Amino acid sequence: MVGNKHEEVQRGDNISSSQCNDYVEIVLDSISNRNSVVPTNEYTDIVLKHSWNKEMYRSYFVFDEGFNEHVTKTQTVKGYEGSCALDYIILDIDKGEIPSDQLIGYIQACLSEIFDKGVMEEDINLWFSGSGFHIEMKNVFGLQQSKTLHDKLRLTMNKHFDFADSIYDKTRIIRTKWSLNPKTQLHKIWIPLSQIGDISFSDLEYYASNKQNYMKWVDKDSDNFFETLHKTPDVEPYLQSMVIASPTIATKTNLTKKNTEVTSVVSCMQHIFNEGPHIGARNNKMMRMTSTYKRAGVPFIVALNGMHTWSDSQMSEDEVTRTVKNVYDGNYQYGCDDHIMAEYCDTKCVYYKRKDYKLDIKGVNELEDSLRDYLINTMSQNSIELSKIYGCSTYNFAPGELIVFSGDTGLGKTAFIQDIIVKAKQHTLFLSLEMNEQLIFRRFGQIAVGKDKEWITNQYKTNPEFTLKDELDHVQVMTIAPRIDSIKKVVSEYAPKVLVVDTTDEVQVDFVKGEIEKQNVVIGALKQIAQKTNIIIIAIHHLNKSSASNNVINLHSLKGSSNVVQKADKVVLIKGNRDDTLRVISSVKSRDEGRFEMTATFDTNTMQFNQLRSNNG
């Protein structure tokens, strides 16, 4: 990252002079002491006066005179429906159940994702909140003061930065800078971005324990250090295209419905209901809400009355009744991939992580169409037929399958899979997590042309025109060990027909207690990816220590629990002697095919496998 300990910080709690936003809510000592409004030109002085010794919060947004009048009149911020504005954006990263020793790595991953989205490092400040983190971002989206700004911000942030908590309610409060977290007795402190990779979570706890420790660490001797952190320079917006605009409200609603906190069960529908009807989308949204009620067992008459209330007389009674009746009479179901529901997706929803609100239940017509398409298109075009590669008995790797491949060290597990990939000519993403890219590609080259490593090396050193593009253009290689969620994104982006994971041990999984749980998570996720994307996944998996040391290799020899074997569609083992060239490749599990066994020679010079004989048991 760019910067150093002495980098100047240009973010903070002041309001840009170009904006007409005059007030913030401030909370001192306890979150129960709400509804105090102060002018923005007094706010910074209050924070600096009480920093390091009080629990303090401020409103997430800033407001104009209308907010002050509302609170003065009602003595509460509740019910405020006027406009709001931003001085800066805060992404709240809650510690939750993340182990302390993994928090620094997690926040680095979050920052990387932010920068990958196009946000410049100079427009970011990082704060330790006393337990989790606040990532402070300039208003690079150019979001303007309006009554629906909070909705636009929520939709935009939840869409692009879903690792952060959804804290974008209009009257939300957020912990102020330097304030005390009473639960941890630590303070909210600014972290130089250049230092985040060099500190531990225990270091942060030490620095946040008191001002003396903190100032010694950041090594700031400037009198205006704290004041500088409370300045908000203007920024020229450059990510306006990322803004997800909330719908335009047709008319002000006077519904008497109760404004409650959105719960974690199908949160998107609650957001839609609370937002009220909007021109151009009323009928579609009503259908989705009604479908949700039907699935939850809500009686027709209750759903009908609720939709009449929600429509606020903007739709005729006949139209509302017809819409609700159509949903209850028909089979209308919507899931997390629905474009309207996705627009209102909320990280707190119980379906958020797996996106599995809609169960994929199909009738005979859909099943027949799916099977016909699979057999004619997917299966015939994207399968790997080993008989065509090695002249052996019929045995296929089919789309949607997870094939787990294992064997003892030094027998050529990776080379055999490479041999298949080179000869199958299917678009393949090869995650080489144990070999570097030069070695894995050189071996691909040896297999492709049947030459030894010296020949390949000499060609690339002496012949600038030499290329293996025609032979290997279908292969892509990735050597950085990914997190399991990243694999899903890579598969979605590159759309390979085959994914090879070499090896499952190297896939990164957060928040697991041990190796067995990790392997279960990895294998389960790979199985899900294979089924959802209809691709072939070949996972190279290590043996357990007992089988490796005793040289007894069978279905129960794979590292981890029996879950690995249960999830796999096929389990294929390679056996042999490291000092010999003979290898026996056999299936010990095939969910939908007969037994496969092939005896082959492994040429360690060319890394190729050549069949000697085949047995079909």
Which of these, 249, 218, 21, 27, lies nearest to 151 by C-alpha position? 249
Task: Name the pLDDT band for 226 (thresholds 50, 70, 90).
Answer: low
Task: Give the pLDDT confidence of 163-212 residue by residue, as tens digits.
Answer: 888 888 899 999 998 888 888 899 999 998 888 888 888 999 999 998 88
Query: Which has the minimum average pLDDT: 32-36, 64-68, 242-246, 584-588?
Result: 242-246
Query: Is 236 found in the same domain as 275?
Result: no
Residue 400 has pLDDT above 90, yes or no: yes
Task: Give the pLDDT confidence of 101-135 residue by residue, as tens digits.
Answer: 788 888 988 898 898 889 998 899 999 998 899 99
Query: Is 435 found in the same domain as 334?
Result: no
The pLDDT score that the predictor gives to residue 241 is 84
Query: Is 324 found in the same domain as 191?
Result: no
Residue 253 has pLDDT above 70, yes or no: no
262 occurs within a structural domain: no
| Domain carrying residue 305 | 267-343
Query: Is 295 found in the same domain as 183?
Result: no
> Which residues have CB under 8 Å from 289's CB, separation 6+?
269, 272, 273, 306, 307, 310
Number of domains in the chain: 3
Q: Which carries the bigger pLDDT value, residue 551 or residue 273?
A: 273
Integer Cα distance of 339 and 261 in angstroms: 24
Q: What is the mean pLDDT of residues 311-331?
A: 86
Query: Is 550 found in the same domain as 404?
Result: yes
Query: Is 431 found in the same domain as 309?
Result: no
The pLDDT score that the predictor gives to residue 163 is 84
Q: What are the strands of the beta sheet with 56-59, ordered from one edge? A: 37-39, 23-28, 56-59, 173-175
Residue 379 has pLDDT above 90, yes or no: no
Residue 286 has pLDDT above 90, yes or no: yes
Is residue 98 within 8 Å of residue 511, measured between CB atoms? yes
Among 242, 259, 280, residue at a domain's last position: 242
Residue 595 has pLDDT above 50, yes or no: yes
The 3-class secondary structure across 474-506, one letter per residue, is CEEEECCCCEHHHHHHHHHHHCCCEEEEECHHH
Query: Which has the minimum average pLDDT: 100-109, 252-261, 458-467?
Result: 252-261
Residue 8 has pLDDT above 60, yes or no: no
48 occurs within a structural domain: yes
Residue 219 has pLDDT above 80, yes or no: no
Q: Which carries the bigger pLDDT value, residue 517 or residue 38?
A: 38
* Main-chain phi, psi angles of 435, to 5 degrees: -110, 145
Burial class of 190 by CB neighbour count within 10 A (0 to 12, 13 to 18, 19+): buried
Query: Is 283 found in the same domain as 402?
Result: no
Identify the CATH number of the domain in which residue 126 sits. Answer: 3.90.920
Q: Which carries the bigger pLDDT value, residue 544 or residue 458?
A: 458
Tell me what percent of the residues of the chain surpass a pLDDT of 90: 42
Q: What is the mean pLDDT of residues 507-533?
A: 86
253 occurs within a structural domain: no
Query: Is 130 found in the same domain as 55?
Result: yes
358 occurs within a structural domain: no
Is residue 573 within 8 Å of residue 418, measured between CB atoms? no
Query: Is 289 found in the same domain as 159?
Result: no
503 upstream amide cis, omega within 30 of 0: yes
Which of these, 536, 542, 480, 476, lies nearest to 507 by C-alpha position? 480
Identify the CATH number of the domain in which residue 449 sits. Answer: 3.40.50.300
259 occurs within a structural domain: no
Is residue 568 within 8 Å of residue 501, measured between CB atoms? no
574 occurs within a structural domain: yes
Query: Is 236 found in the same domain as 99?
Result: yes
Q: What is the mean pLDDT of residues 125-151?
A: 90
349 occurs within a structural domain: no
Task: Name the pLDDT band for 245 (thresholds 50, 70, 90).
Answer: low
12 occurs within a structural domain: no
Q: What is the mean pLDDT of residues 85-113?
A: 86
Task: Name the pLDDT band for 572 (thresholds 50, 70, 90).
Answer: very high
Among 227, 242, 257, residue at a domain's last position: 242
Query: Is 178 found in the same domain as 40?
Result: yes
Integer Cα distance of 275 and 286 in angstroms: 12
Query: Is 81 found in the same domain as 146?
Result: yes
Model confidence pTM above 0.85: no
Among 209, 242, 275, residue at a domain's last position: 242
